[in-house]
Amino acid sequence: MTAYIVRRLLWMIPLLVGVSIITFAMLKRIPGDPVTVMLLESRSSGRVITEADRERLRKQYGLDKPAYLQYFDWLGEVLRGNLGTSIRMKQPVTEVIKQRLPNTMKLAGVSLVITLAIALPLGILSAVRQYSWLDYVLTAFNFVGISIPQFWLALMLLYLFAVEIQLLPVRGMRSPYVEPGFWNHLVDTVTHYILPVTSVTLASLAGYMRYQRAAMLEVIRQDYIRTARAKGLPEHVVILKHAWRNALIPIITLLGYVLVILVEGSIVVEAIFSWPGMGLLAVDSLQQRDYPVVMAIVMLSAVLIMIGTLLSDILYAIVDPRVRYD
Amino acid sequence: MIDRDATFERAELSTGLPRATALEELVSERPESPWRLTGRRFLRHRLAVVSAVFLLALFLVALLAPWIAPYDPNAIDLQLAQFGRPAEPSLAHPMGSDQVGRDLLSRLIYGSRVSLAVGFLATGISIMVGAALGAIAGYLGRWVDMAIMRLADLLLAFPPLLFLMGVLAGFRSPTILIISAAIGVIGWMNVARLVRGEFLTLRTREYAEAARAIGVPTWAIIFRELLPNAMGPIIVAATLSIPAAILTESTLSFLGFGIQPPTASWGNMLQNAFTYLRDYRAWWMGFYPGLMIALTVLAFNFVGDGLRDALDPRSRID
């Protein structure tokens, strides 16, 4: 097992190099470099820019060198632990990510807890009462759930609760001005969370519920469940203790992918609610050609994805002793 | 014992012929072909049939868009949208207009072309690439298998949405084909794994052995002898990948990286609606395009589900 994990970890190195080369090449072929975007912005603020300024800036950011040299420059810095400087925010990329990542984790974390708290019991119930009206209703809900685009759901929630009945805030994590006092701050924070969290939760609910239901159905057909019933155990013990423990295996392995969902799943919701997290940062940086930030986000995501996959494979072996890796 | 009377009864009922002839018919009837059996099982799935009809209608709408759409989808009518204010739904414009007076029903009709085209093209690309690579990897094994699966690992390490945004940012105005190709390139790995798994067992079958023995070329064994036997899972994967591709395209267009305005797609209609939803309460701009995406994706999901049950009744877990 240890050898397996070490091998997987070592294999990540060439993969990460591959990801960085592909991403770098991809960003290089996007028309318009960061300096041009910067100059366009300062031009609109009335400053006069000469061609000399442009050349100077290009030199400053190393954009005048051939692409492969730029890549090696970048790689050298990254290996020394320096992710570069955001061209747009004039801050080290590490600082920018340090500010943004916790916000995404808060949104994703709260949503995940609520999602699991709803999806797992309903998934079990749906499996235990297979073909009951409840099962049909939940199955129908799941079909609708996986079909509705997340961004449309978020837009409609925003329209209903923040525009039509102005109950909840439209954007951000907190209001620009809040009356002092703990209670006021708490209310302000909670109200800002409701819509983004609801959007993420509703969008992921169906997937988990389906998964839990399928796992549970698989388990309750097993012989040891029949044995448990036959020896006269009460039904709730059979279901919750004997069956559910085994039906949790697939769910636990799914948790490895939470890291992945954390990166990807929040892009749209963050963009709609102007939630200052990684997803919004990715979209903005790409549009502004802030390449050091984009590179950092893609690399970070790739690391999270690979660790997440490895983690779920390991978890799988831990919770299910029948699984062996060599 | 066989219940003869019941058999007679059924024979009579199903053919409408007198008993003796009917029984003869039944006995002499050739076994039903797998495809007809599949068709019958599919028809039993009521929601899938309704969905298939809906999708067929949507196809006709997309195909006949120029004749069905009441207005030119890009025709600006500033009379209708006074001071840049989107016009509410009315008899003349049942779904209202946007901020420059373009008829939203017409744009919705034209937008269906983008969604359907991307859904099928992207799936076609990812399935063909995935099936071919998976089949080759599974059949040949060794270093070929190794190389293909490592390539899959590399692509799986990318966050798909970010990858697509990065690729498409490289085009000033990505076409349907470019978007589909990008979605296909980042989406073939799961099909490849599936088909590879099938081939690991298929290559050990007797008929594969026999084909090798009589000297059938390797490519013919892979693609002509063995691949048809993996068709079931491939078709199911394909039908479920269409709705996923449609959702991806609409998300990309919504974020501004997909189909660029003025060409209408459901995704970029929603992007345009965002501001007006907030500032002008123009709910109709945001409601209908999203509803169409949801209905289309739902219909494809139902059809996919029906097909899965029809093609492999054992796989019915739920």
pLDDT digits (tens, 9 = 90+) for B105-161: 999 999 999 999 999 999 999 999 999 999 898 888 889 888 999 899 899 889 899
Give me the pLDDT at residue B128, please: 93
Convert the pLDDT of each residue in B3-47 to its tens digit: 444 443 444 444 444 444 445 555 555 556 666 666 666 666 788
Q: Is the pLDDT of residue A262 over 70?
A: no
Annotation: CATH topology of A96-319:
MetI-like fold (1.10.3720)
pTM greater than 0.80 (yes/no):
yes
- Measure the CA angle with vertex A107, ends A105 and A111; round to 5°: 110
Task: Kindly report the number of other CB atoms within 10 A of residue A199's CB atom.
Answer: 26
User: Looking at residue A170, what is its pLDDT?
Assistant: 76
> What is the predicted pLDDT for the residue at B13?
41
Contact A136, A213 (CB under 8 A): no
The answer to whether the Cβ–Cβ distance between B243 and A147 falls below 8 Å is yes
Measuring CA to CA, which residue among B56, B179, B185 is closest to residue B130?
B185
Altogether, the residues listed in chain A come to a count of: 326
Instruction: Output the pLDDT for position B19.
Output: 47
What's the token pair of residue A36? 């041009």
When mean pLDDT is compared across A28-42, A258-272, B138-152, B217-231, the lowest value belongs to: A28-42
Q: Is a pLDDT exceeding 70 seen at residue A235?
A: yes
Segment B303-307 mean pLDDT: 85
Euclidean distance between CA atoms A190 and A174, whole angstroms? 9
Among B64-68, B126-130, B277-281, name the most confident range.
Answer: B126-130
| Domains of chain B and any CATH numbers | 1-30 (no CATH), 35-311 (1.10.3720.10)
Kindly report, as residue ranges, where domains of CATH 1.10.3720.10 are found in chain A.
Answer: 96-319
Considering only the beta carbons, identify the residue of A22, A151, A214 that sits closest to B254.
A151
Residue in A163, A297, A305 closest to B278 by CB: A163
Asked whether the CA dihedral B101, B104, B109, B111 is positive or negative, the reply is: positive
For chain B, percent of residues with pLDDT exceeding 90: 32
Please state the ipTM of this predicted complex.
Answer: 0.86
pLDDT at A142 over 50: yes
Average pLDDT (A14-34) is 86
What is the reported pLDDT for B3?
Answer: 42
Per-residue confidence band for B236, with pLDDT thresholds at 50, 70 and 90: confident
Interface of A with B in 19-38 (CB under 8 A): 19, 22-23, 26-27, 29-31
pLDDT at B8: 39
Q: Which chain A residues have a beta carbon less than 8 Å from that of B153?
A: 11, 15
Indicate the DSSP class of residue B103: B
Structure tokens at B201: 């067992």
Whole-number Å distance between alpha carbons of B38 and B43: 9
Residues A27, B283: C-beta atoms closer than 8 Å: no
More confident position, A321 or A78: A78
How does pLDDT run across B175-214, given as a tens digit for each residue? 999 999 999 999 999 899 888 988 888 888 888 788 888 8
**Residue A290 reports pLDDT greater than 90:** no
CA distance B258 to B178: 9
Mean per-residue pLDDT over chain A, rounded: 83
Judge contact between A317 and A1, C-beta under 8 A: yes
Report percent pLDDT > 70 for chain A. 95
Report CB contact under 8 Å: B159, A302: yes
